[in-house]
Structure 1
């Protein structure tokens, strides 16, 4: 079976790229020939990325230029080597005019594909508006990134949503949006693709980091001085090295020993071998759960509900840091035997969904949802 998949694989973000890889590899388990449509949002193309980040600020461009080159090498190299991409590059809706494909089924992949704030508006190709009429369509752990949509956004996308055969979303809030705002019933909630693939899958690609002794890892996407102060004090109180996973070279000035824009699978390895992970990232949280590393989660100002949904699913809401003076969080340990039981349950759910969508498309979803 041939599957054409569209997702946010080209964003310079470790979690976004790894979820695309995980999706591809999961579909291959079902005998699928997967092609990821090489859709690159206009603002994240190599030509436009510097302007997206820096605007007309020349000094900022100079400071971030080395990071841009490193991103191109690390992310571009991984995407080239590990993802099966379409020959054609798509960067806007017009590029899909006269779209040609012999796929049996079309899929909107995971990540924040339906988050209009993150995507600078509604991107209709991410709703499969290019797929042939009456073709089979489904969504795999898609995310709106929000708990409610504006009436205008629903109006723009309702007709496209209704053309899906089945939709699975990543967050519980996404399920509410589909059922209450779109009145779409053929939907369910499943876990992020990175969680679908077990720890043993990820460890096939990793090597132990060259760090002597135990450490706490910081993976931070948003500037937050209180976050930085807490991380330093947390490491000190627990007599651990503070290791900072830096996604840009200029972050070297922050506290902790910096590891600067490492290879893709180092993201997994550094989390796997840490005693604790302090993060405001959904995917760093997901990998911590998957690899049984204790996370300390600081919700970002925007889209924090995504992490909240994940913690609630695994019944570990106590790992949300609500007070920067709460160093007792280290004593609220996670029962990973229970977490792993939930993971097993959720993976069975994913397999049931994929079996139905990919292998038994004529069967009704209703019985499975119940």
Structure 2
């Protein structure tokens, strides 16, 4: 069967890149002919280009981007990873009008598994392409969502009628968080299922590049700089566990070593060998769980609904902190996570989510 995937694959975010890789891999492993629809909305392209420009304009002022070169290297490594590990469509489109080229090309199109339905993202906004509107008139192509998310969107507002009409044309709808499930059920009156992010469904041993570090380390993966209280917490944890502090993906001044412009396989390697993880990201949390790491999540208002949703499912709500605990209360025992019960719960959810996806691909779900 010819399968197309529409998701956020053109990005410099490690989580987005790996969710794309994971979804493509599990579909390919079922024997399907699968590729990404290479749609790169021009608004998103402009946003990512700012990361690699040496000088940016903000509030009528010109600012020097000191991480431009590192960001350029990171973007190149992300692109190289995708081209070597997955398959993109031969044709690419920067405009919605270009998606008509993909009409009639696939037996099934899967959209997901990212915040592709978040209509409040300032540099993307509402894009009906991610609800597969360009396939609306094609009756022979099945439409499925897997772990799609509305992100922080609280209501569909003025887009409700259009979105609900497009959602009604899906053969199966699966989302990855309770907020997205609520919007589908309450505002569209459509049944949907909550599933795990696809990154939980595949093995990474073949693409993980183990770092050449001899010291045991605490890994920071934060998309915003740590504040003073968070820095003190990290230092205290590192002291209790006798760890060197490193940061990946972004520079952090509390880290002894910063690895910014690394590839996704290197990023996986640093997670796989970490002795402790501190993050404020959804996929930072996921890969801490995948590699069975003890970890702390600093609450991030933009990511809180999906991260809290996942950790509540596993009974790990206490790993999210709004304000760091007093340094004196941090002990070796308080930092530990017992993965015996966690693995049991996660195994059941992985099986349920994978079964749903495979059934949806075979037309047994809807």
The alignment status of 1:192 with 2:197, answered yes or no, reads: yes
Count of aligned positions:
356
| Contact 1:214-1:240 at 8 Å conserved across structures | yes
| Residue equivalent to 2:148 | 142
Cα distance between partner residues in 2 of 1:270 and 1:108: 29
When residues 51 and 266 of structure 1 are mapped into structure 2, their CA distance, relative to the original with a 3 A threshold, is: closer
| Contact 2:178-2:309 at 8 Å conserved across structures | yes
Q: Describe the SS at the equivalent of 1:68.
A: helix
When residues 72 and 303 of structure 1 are mapped into structure 2, their CA distance, relative to the original with a 3 A threshold, is: closer
Deviations 1:1-29 (A, max 9, x none): 11111000111101100110000010012
| Residue equivalent to 2:125 | 121
The alignment status of 1:92 with 2:98, answered yes or no, reads: no
Residues 142-161 of structure 1 aligned to structure 2 (within 5 Å): 142-146=148-152, 148-161=154-167
Deviations 1:143-167 (A, max 9, x none): 1113622422323411111111111
Cα distance between partner residues in 2 of 1:320 and 1:47: 30
| Contact 2:56-2:62 at 8 Å conserved across structures | no
Query: What's the CA shift for 1:321?
Result: 1.7
Structure 2 residues without counterparts, runs of 5 or longer: none
| Residue equivalent to 2:268 | 268
After TM superposition, the score normalised by the length of structure 2 is: 0.90
Cα distance between partner residues in 1 of 2:188 and 2:46: 36
Query: What's the CA shift for 1:236?
Result: 2.5
Residues 60-139 of structure 1 aligned to structure 2 (within 5 Å): 60-118=63-121, 120-131=124-135, 132-134=137-139, 135-139=141-145
| Residue equivalent to 1:168 | 174
Q: Describe the SS at the equivalent of 1:227.
A: helix
The alignment status of 1:340 with 2:346, answered yes or no, reads: no
Structure 1 residues without counterparts, runs of 5 or longer: 366-370
| Residue equivalent to 2:290 | 290
Q: Which stretches of structure 1, 4 residues or more, deviate above 4 A after TM superposition?
A: 51-55
| Contact 1:43-1:52 at 8 Å conserved across structures | no
When residues 35 and 316 of structure 1 are mapped into structure 2, their CA distance, relative to the original with a 3 A threshold, is: same
When residues 47 and 292 of structure 1 are mapped into structure 2, their CA distance, relative to the original with a 3 A threshold, is: closer
> More displaced, 263-272 or 57-66?
57-66
Cα distance between partner residues in 2 of 1:173 and 1:246: 28
When residues 49 and 269 of structure 1 are mapped into structure 2, their CA distance, relative to the original with a 3 A threshold, is: same
Query: What's the CA shift for 1:71?
Result: 2.5
| Contact 1:27-1:34 at 8 Å conserved across structures | yes
| Contact 1:278-1:298 at 8 Å conserved across structures | yes
| Contact 1:295-1:319 at 8 Å conserved across structures | yes
Deviations 1:166-224 (A, max 9, x none): 11111122111111111111x10110111112xxx212222331222221100010234
Deviations 1:275-316 (A, max 9, x none): 111000100100110110112011213231111011111111
Cα distance between partner residues in 2 of 1:87 and 1:34: 12
| Residue equivalent to 1:257 | 257
| Contact 2:218-2:277 at 8 Å conserved across structures | yes
| Contact 2:117-2:126 at 8 Å conserved across structures | yes
After TM superposition, the score normalised by the length of structure 1 is: 0.89
| Contact 2:279-2:285 at 8 Å conserved across structures | yes
| Contact 1:207-1:269 at 8 Å conserved across structures | yes
Query: What's the CA shift for 1:228?
Result: 3.1
Q: Describe the SS at the equivalent of 1:272.
A: helix
Query: What's the CA shift for 1:67?
Result: 2.6
